[in-house]
Amino acid sequence: MSDSTATSAPTPSTPGETSPGAVRLRVAPSPTGDPHVGTAYMAMFDLAFARQQGGKFVLRIEDTDRARFQADSEQQIFDTLHWLDLNWDEGPDVGGPYAPYRQSERLDTYKPYVDKLIDEGKAYYCYCTSERLAEMRELQQKQKLPTGYDRMCYGKSREERAAEPGFSENPVVRMFIPDDAPLVFDDLIRGEVKAPRPDDQVIMKADGFPTYHLAVVVDDHEMGITHVVRGEEWISSTPKHILLYQGLGLEPPKFAHMPLLRDEKKAKISKRKSPWARLTWFKEQGYLPEALLNFLALLGYPPIIEADGTEREVFTFEEFSENFEWSKVNTVGPIFNLDKLNWLNGHYIRELEPRDFAARILPFLVADGVLPEQPSLPQLGRLNLVAELIQTRINLLSEATPLVAPFFTDDAELPIADDARAQLKETAAQVLDAAIAALEPISGSLGKPDGTGIEWVHERIEAALREAVVDGLGIKPKFAFGPLRTAVSGQRISPPLFESMEILGKHSTMERLKNLRASL
């Protein structure tokens, strides 16, 4: 980067035309690993307000941190936000009137703004080495002084600074913070906010890449962003950004600083400490996107109040967007309660149409080896039947595998879980013998072409087994069918027994009863 002072700075480009009063909001994640759940949290509030106001929602990739950049992270951002149906109007993958939407592709954009600030004395070159800055901070800490740049380079030419210790050939650019820097601003959520006075921040690094503080101001201006929604940790940076807007003669956007998501210890959530801070984790565990959005909304926003005054915690994104008001956003950092999310997810699972539910658990069954990638029509038909049995019994899609697997396992290879075998009573052999004898006379045929004449149905199966085991052996229903459940599913807990037998068919049911009996 050249350190010569230009005689006249290039005129920064002007943002494209937007409709009068049209709102434009953006989410701007960095591709530095698995997307953070906070990205979805912010994007949801952005999109809700943009849709309510008939505005635009923009995705911008802030990839100027090349040391932490990960090539596959950008695609993960696309995939997870699309999974949540938080779809953008403009972005790197869809284009738009303010392209490019990756900061690394906009490097030529920032230098005219930097030159303007330098020419007007609102920014300056800093030649200090990292070693010199470290020594400065150490001394400030020892003397219990406020930490911050001491302006050693301010007002000095390259030659003057080179004559002093700790000189670097490759300078950075720092913004100059005047004594009357604005420290108070209006926040859409919090009202009037006062932030601490910043020091002279670096706005362009020695490699020519802008820092976040400069890039976010320039990009938000050039992309016509009207509302900036971000976490409350950025409150302390807002005076720097407002000062940059003022120094460049630009109109600042409106700011809304959201409460931080916190873990059970009330600490800011992090991917290092909490696996669920990764946005991909929710998809892997089997959460429904609509349940996760509902949950995230409740973290920062109150339930919907019905006409009779009651609260309703279950609502759609459309309802959230329609009723959205910034003044209702919570200002206290909410605790990320997974029990609440699991309850919500279970509710949404039970509300699905059975075939939709079957389609949603299918990828998990394929991943776990229960079904092939291209299931046959008979396999899909059986899955639809099994799905109806288990839909009310799980809170996560990933919990379907142990319940579904027995229906797609060869009879001779069905494993009997240790806890299921351990709970078998002394009467297990007697129960199995009675059940086999009772079921043998029932026809396992499919009946007539018109669907009549089918005997192997759960009502007939249940009646026969109750007569043989409960009435015939005098065993209480609570204990009567445990051995049959273990034989059919291999598990201590399984889908409804008689319906499971109907789906398996007579041949498989009888084989499994006999196999367990032979092992006792």
pLDDT in tens, 78-123: 999 999 999 999 999 999 999 999 998 998 999 999 999 999 999 9
56 is catalytic: no
Which residues make up the CATH 1.10.10.350 domain(s) of the chain? 412-519
Query: For residue 395, is pLDDT > 90?
Result: yes
Binding site, annotated residues for ATP = 271
pLDDT band at 451 (very low <50, low <70, confident <90, very high): low
pLDDT digits (tens, 9 = 90+) for 315-342: 999 999 999 999 999 998 888 889 999 9
Is residue 5 left, alpha or beta, with left meaning phi > 0 and alpha meaning psi from -120 to 50? beta
Phi, psi of 217 (to 5 degrees): -70, -50
Q: What is the pLDDT of residue 332?
A: 87
Q: What is the pLDDT of residue 93?
A: 94
Tokens of 351: 């509300």
Please tell me the distance from the alpha carbon of residue 78 to that of residue 91, in angstroms, as a whole number: 10
Q: What is the pLDDT of residue 9?
A: 37
Q: What is the pLDDT of residue 8?
A: 36
Which residues make up the CATH 3.40.50.620 domain(s) of the chain? 105-258
Residues in the chain: 520
Q: Which residue has the higher pLDDT, 270 or 186?
A: 186
CB distance 113 to 72 below 8 Å:
no
Could you say which of 3.40.50.720, 3.30.70.270, 1.10.10.350, 3.30.70.20 is the CATH number of the domain covering 412-519?
1.10.10.350
Burial class (CB in 10 A: 0-12, 13-18, 19+), 178: exposed
pLDDT band at 6 (very low <50, low <70, confident <90, very high): very low
Which residues make up the CATH 1.10.8.70 domain(s) of the chain? 352-408
Binding site, annotated residues = 271
Could you say which of 3.40.50.620, 3.30.2130.10, 3.40.50.970, 3.40.50.1010 is the CATH number of the domain covering 105-258?
3.40.50.620
Q: Which of 156, 205, 271, 514 is catalytic?
A: 271
pLDDT band at 277 (very low <50, low <70, confident <90, very high): confident
CB distance 98 to 220 below 8 Å:
no
Please tell me the distance from the alpha carbon of residue 100 to that of residue 106, in angstroms, as a whole number: 7
CA 257 to the chain's CA centroid: 19
Question: Hunting for tokens 């591709």 — which residue is that?
Answer: 31
Q: How many CB atoms lie within 10 A of CB 471?
A: 10
Phi, psi of 390 (to 5 degrees): -105, -5
What pTM was estimated for this model as a whole? 0.87
> CB-based contacts of 331: which residues, under 8 Å, 6+ apart?
189, 190, 259
Lowest-confidence region among 229-233, 289-293, 447-451:
447-451
Number of Cα atoms under 13 Å in the Cβ half of residue 382 = 18
Instruction: Report the candidate in 118, 108, 106 with the shortest Cα–Cα distance to residue 8.
Output: 118
Q: Domain 352-408 classified CATH 1.10.8.70?
A: yes
